[in-house]
Amino acid sequence: MGENPAKRIADPFEAQLLAQLAETGASLCIDRGAGGEEAERVDRAILLSGVPARNVRVYDGSFAGFASIIASSRLYVGYDSAGQHVAAACGVPLLSIFAGFASQRMFERWRPTGRGRIEIVKVDVPDPAIVLPQVVQALHALR
């Protein structure tokens, strides 16, 4: 979320999202971000998701390293951040959870575009109970 809390959906969204992604049978790689509170939030979401540790790889390194992981992935799911643009540029199927934008103009300028399949969940109401079903629907559209 690029250290912008307005881009984040409140708990328990992230744990529920991880559980949904794990149901696909795919292994997950999750970036712990810049560390500190963000890394603690990632660790907490993994724990609360119930996803077995063997199915989760946690990345704690440079953005270049994470970009390399994104480029070789089968799917990228994330908030509006630099990672979504890497996925779009590399043609990796992408689900962007786009929240916290100040205006429609900002959304239009910063939404990901590229040659791959892109689904965007434009979040007008950042309520986990509203956003999660939209994300699940977008995931199905990418399959």
Is the pTM for the entire model greater than 0.95? Answer: no
State the Cα–Cα distance between residues 134 and 7, nearest whole angstrom.
16
Residue 53's pLDDT is 86
Per-residue pLDDT of 101-134, as tens digits, reads 999 999 999 999 988 899 999 999 999 999 999 9
Residue 2 scores a pLDDT above 60: no
Residue 119's pLDDT is 97
Residue 17's pLDDT is 97
Burial 64-101 (b: 16+ CB within 10 A, else e): eebbebbeebebbbbbbbebbbbbbbbebbbbbbbbbb
Q: Name the residue with tokens 């994330």.
A: 78
Residue 124's pLDDT is 93
The mean pLDDT of the chain is 93
Spell out the domain ranges in the chain: 5-142
5-142: CATH topology: Rossmann fold (3.40.50)
Residue 116's pLDDT is 86
Residue 33's pLDDT is 87
Residue 141 scores a pLDDT above 70: yes
Averaged pLDDT for residues 12-18: 97
Averaged pLDDT for residues 36-53: 94
Residue 3's pLDDT is 63
Averaged pLDDT for residues 82-96: 96
